[in-house]
Structure 1
Amino acid sequence: MLSIIIIIVLIALNFYFSLAEIGLISVDKNALTIQANGGNQRAASVLRLIDDPDEFLSAVQVGITLVGILEGLYGGDMMAALLEPVFRSWHLGNYGAHLLALLIGVGSITYLTIVFGELIPKTLALLNPEKISFIITPSMIIFSKITYPFIKLLTSSTKYILGLFHINTIREQKLTDNDLRGMLILAYKQGLIEKGEFMLHKNISTAYDLPAENIMTPASIVTVVKEDMSRDEITATVQRSTHRTFPVMTAGNDIPGALMIKDFFLQPDKPLRELISPVSYLSLNQGIYDMFQLLRREGTIMGIVLNEYGEFEGIVTFHDIVSGLLGNLPGYNTKERILQQQPDKSWLTNGITRLSFIRETLNLEWLRPYEEEDITVAGLLIGKLKHIPQPGEKVTLNQLTFEVKSMNKHRIEEVIIREVSST
C-alpha cells in the first residue's frame, strides 16, 4: 500500500511541475502587466517570477528531474515487487515472473507519468495559463527559494556555456500591433479604460497610415479663389461656402497658397497676393501622421494634394487630419458637404468618403464589420466587384445599394446610396 502511495505522490509532483512549466511559459505577460498596474497583487507576483525565465525554468527543471530520478529508481521496482508474486503463481518461474513484472511495472509507470504527469497538466495549463499561473506562483516562489543555491549554479553554468558561443541571453520583448490591440481590448473588457478612450486608441492605431487620398476633400467639391478675381468676386465666392480657408489658384492652375477669410475681411486694403498664406504639398499616398508632421513643421494651414503628374487632387486641413484620427468632428457642415440627400431620398457621396462616416451619419451600425476590410466607399465597391467599376455598376448590402454614378479616370468619383425598396 505504501508503494502505491509513493508512486501516486511522485506522479502528482510531476503533474505539478509540468503544470507550472507550461502555465508560466504560456501566460500573457502583457495582460499580466495591465492587471498588475491596476493593483492585482497576484499578477505582480507572477510577473516577478517570470521576469527571469532562466531561474524559474531551472527551478521547474530541478523538480522534474528529481521526480524523474525517484520514479526511475523506485517506481519500476515497486510495481515489479507488487506484480511478481502474481506472475509466480502462474508458474512462470522466478526469472520469467521477475522479467514480466519489471516490464509491466516500468511500462505502467511510464504510461501513468506521460498521461497524468505530462499530457494532462500541460493541456490544462495551455487552456488557462493565467489561472494556473496564479495558483502555482506562491508555491513555486517557495520552492525556488529552497533550491536557490542549486538553481543559481545551473543558471550560471547555462549563461557561461551560452556565452562561449556568443549567444545573447537577454531577450528584448517586442510589442507587435496585434499585441497592442489585444492589450487595449483586454483593458476595455476589464474596465480599466472607458469606451471613449478605447475607441480613441483604436482609431489612432487604425488610421495611423491612412493616406491623404482617404481623408482629403476632393478637388471636384473644393471652392477655389482665382488669383485674378476682384475683391467683390472673392467676397461672393466665399459667402457661398461654409469653409474658412480657400486655396488660391493662378491662371496656370498652380496653387501657391491659401486665403483665410478673416485675413481677407480684416485687411480690406491689402491686395490678394499679400494675404496668401503658404501651403504644404502632399502626395495621394502620404500617411496621415506624415501629413500632420509636415504641416506642423512648415507652419502651414492647408495641404494641397497632388497626383504623380502634379495635378490638383484635393486639400487636407488639420480638421481633416484630426477627423481621420479621432472620427468625424462637428463643423464645416461636413454632412452637407460630403453626403447630400437627393429629391428621391437617396444620398450622393464621394468615393473617398469613409464608411465610418456613412455609418455614423445614416445610423447604419451593420456597416461596422465592413470597415475592417475597406475604409472608404470606393474601397468597398472595388472589393466587392473585384474590378475597377464603370458608372451604373452597383453593390447591394443589407437592403442598401451603392451605385457608381461617375468616374474620374480609374477613380470612383461619386456614389449614390439608396434603399433597395426605393429603386
Structure 2
Amino acid sequence: MDSNLFWIVVLIVTSAFFAIAEIALAAARQLKLNILVDEGSENAKLVLDLQAKSGAFFAAIQIALNAIAILGGIIGENTFTPYLKTLISYVYEGRFLDEVSFTCSFLLVTSLFILFADLIPKRIGMALPEKIALRVVRPMMFSVMVLKPFVLFFNSLSDLILKLCRIPTERVDIVTAQDIVAIMDAGAANGSIPSQEYQMIGNVFELENRSLTSVMCVRDDMVYFDINDTHADISEKIIQHPHNFYLVCDNSLDQIVGLVESKALLKQVLAGEQARLSSDIVSKDVFYLPDSLSLSEALEAFKCHTQPIAAVLNEYSLVVGLVTMKDVMSVVVDGFTGVLADQLIVKRGEGSWLIDGSAAIIDVGRCLGVEEFPDSDSYETLAGFIMYKLKKLPKLTDNLLFEGYRFEVVDMDNLKISKLLVSKVDA
C-alpha cells in the first residue's frame, strides 16, 4: 500500500507539471515575452521558439499525460480497491461488493487526478502564464528530447493530417489594432494606464477611421487673399480672421497662386510700407491633399512636406477645404471634442439636439448612441445623410425618422442645410 501510494503521488505531481506547462506555455502572451526578450531573458526566447513550433511540445505533453493516466488507473485500482472493499463491507456484503469497490476506487483515483493533476494546475497556469512559462520551458524541452522518438512519430502523423485538411501546422501571432486596444482597455480598467494617456492612444487609432474632411475648414468658411487685394482689403481680413497662413488666389479659390505668411505682411507694415502681395513673400510651394485621405494618411503626408497647411481638393481638382498640421495633431491630443466646442452639436434639453448640417456623421452617431448609419461611405456629414435618405434636396421642415430619432431641417442657407433639430421619439 505504501509503495503504491507513493507512486500515485509521483504520478499526480508529474501530471500536474505537464498540465500547468501546457496551459502556461500556450497562454503566454507574445507581447510580454517580446518585452522580456528585449530585457535579455533567454527563457522568454525559448518560450517564443516553443510556441512557434508547438507540434513537438503538444505531442510530448499528450504522450506523457496519457501514459500517466493509464498508469494511475492501474496502480490506483490495485491500491485503493482492497481498502475500500473492507470499508464498504461494514455496510454492504452483497454479490456486487467487488464491483462497487472497484467503482469507488475508480472514482477516487479519477477525482484525485482531476483535482490535483488537472484542474488546479491549469487554473494556476492561466492565472500566471508568463511567469510559469519561464520556469517550465527548460524542463519541457528536456522532456521533448527524452520522448523524441515518440514525438517524431506522432508529430509527423499529425502534421500529415493537418496538411491534408489544409490547416496551418505552425502558430503565427499577428498583433492587430484590436489586440492593442483590448490591452489598453484592460490597463485602463485596472489603473495601470492613466486616463489621459489612454484617451490619447485611443485617438491615435481612430485616425485611420476618420476622413480628412472631418477636421478641415470647409470651402465656405475659408479666408483667402486675392492677388489684387489692396492694403485695406488685406488689413480687414487679417483683423477679422487672424491666421498664420493665407492662400493667395487669382479671382477664384480654385485658381491658387501661392501661400503667404501673415508675419511677412507684418514686416511690410512695420517697415512703414503698405501691405501688398508681392512675389517675394508669396510662396509658390503650395501643399495639396486629396479629400479621400484618412487622418492617418494626411499625418504621414504632412511629415514628408515642409508646409504646415494644405489645400484639400476633390476628384475634380476643386478646392473643398483647408487643413493644417495643427488640426490633425489636435485630434491626437484632444480627440474630437473640438467639434462640440465649435457648437456643431448642441444639446438643447433631454432628448433634443440642435446640430449643424456640416457635423461629421461619426460624431453625430457617437453623440446619439447610433452605432451605424446606412451606407456611411456615401456621405461624411449629417447634411449628406439627410439628402441620402430623402433622395432630394431638402427644404425647411423636411424630416425623417431613424433609429428612434426625428431629424428635421430647421434652417437653410440658400441650398445648404444649415441646422437640424434632432429629437428622440417614443417607439
Contact 1:42–1:134, Cα closer than 8 Å, also in 2: yes
After TM superposition, the structure 1 = structure 2 runs for residues 207-286 of structure 1, keeping only pairs within 5 Å, are: 207-219=207-219, 222-230=222-230, 233-234=233-234, 237-238=237-238, 242-249=242-249, 251=251, 253-261=253-261, 270=278, 276-283=284-291, 286=293
For the residues of structure 2 that align with 1:228 and 1:32, how far apart are their CA atoms? 65
After TM superposition, the structure 1 = structure 2 runs for residues 53-202 of structure 1, keeping only pairs within 5 Å, are: 53-87=54-88, 90-92=92-94, 96-181=96-181
For the residues of structure 1 that align with 2:24 and 2:277, how far apart are their CA atoms? 77
Counterpart in 1 of 2:356?
none
Of stretches 98-107 and 216-225 in structure 1, the one that deviates more from structure 2 is: 216-225
Q: 1:16 to 1:294 in 2, by over 3 A?
A: closer
For the residues of structure 2 that align with 1:152 and 1:210, how far apart are their CA atoms? 51
Contact 1:280–1:294, Cα closer than 8 Å, also in 2: no
Please report how far the alpha carbon of residue 187 of structure 1 lies from its aligned counterpart in structure 2 after TM superposition: 10
Q: Tell me the amino acid that sits aligned with residue 106 of structure 1.
A: F
Q: 1:275 to 1:146 in 2, by over 3 A?
A: closer
Of stretches 60-69 and 193-202 in structure 1, the one that deviates more from structure 2 is: 193-202
TM-score, with length taken from structure 2: 0.65
For the residues of structure 2 that align with 1:297 and 1:138, how far apart are their CA atoms? 48
For the residues of structure 1 that align with 2:160 and 2:277, how far apart are their CA atoms? 81
SS at 1:233's partner residue?
helix
Counterpart in 2 of 1:290?
297
Counterpart in 2 of 1:351?
344
SS at 2:44's partner residue?
helix
Which ranges of structure 2 fall in alignment gaps of 5 or more residues? 269-274, 347-358, 371-381, 384-409, 421-427
Contact 2:55–2:169, Cα closer than 8 Å, also in 1: no
Per-residue CA deviations over 1:137-174 (Å, capped at 9, x if unaligned) read: 34323322322333233323322343344443234322
Please report how far the alpha carbon of residue 287 of structure 1 lies from its aligned counterpart in structure 2 after TM superposition: 0.7
Please report how far the alpha carbon of residue 177 of structure 1 lies from its aligned counterpart in structure 2 after TM superposition: 0.6
RMSD: 4.7
For the residues of structure 2 that align with 1:201 and 1:188, how far apart are their CA atoms? 11
After TM superposition, the structure 1 = structure 2 runs for residues 319-330 of structure 1, keeping only pairs within 5 Å, are: 319-325=326-332
Contact 1:162–1:168, Cα closer than 8 Å, also in 2: yes
Please report how far the alpha carbon of residue 291 of structure 1 lies from its aligned counterpart in structure 2 after TM superposition: 2.7
Which ranges of structure 1 fall in alignment gaps of 5 or more residues? 329-337, 340-346, 354-375, 390-404, 414-423
Q: 1:86 to 1:106 in 2, by over 3 A?
A: same
SS at 2:246's partner residue?
strand
Alignment length, in residue pairs? 360
- What fraction of aligned residue pairs are identical, expressed as a percent? 21
Counterpart in 2 of 1:20?
21
For the residues of structure 2 that align with 1:117 and 1:320, how far apart are their CA atoms? 59
For the residues of structure 2 that align with 1:115 and 1:323, how far apart are their CA atoms? 55
Please report how far the alpha carbon of residue 307 of structure 1 lies from its aligned counterpart in structure 2 after TM superposition: 7.5
Per-residue CA deviations over 1:1-30 (Å, capped at 9, x if unaligned) read: 423333233233222222221222122122
TM-score, with length taken from structure 1: 0.65
Q: Tell me the amino acid that sits aligned with residue 351 of structure 1.
A: L
For the residues of structure 1 that align with 2:277 and 2:211, how far apart are their CA atoms? 40
Question: Aligned pair 1:317/2:318, yes or no?
Answer: no
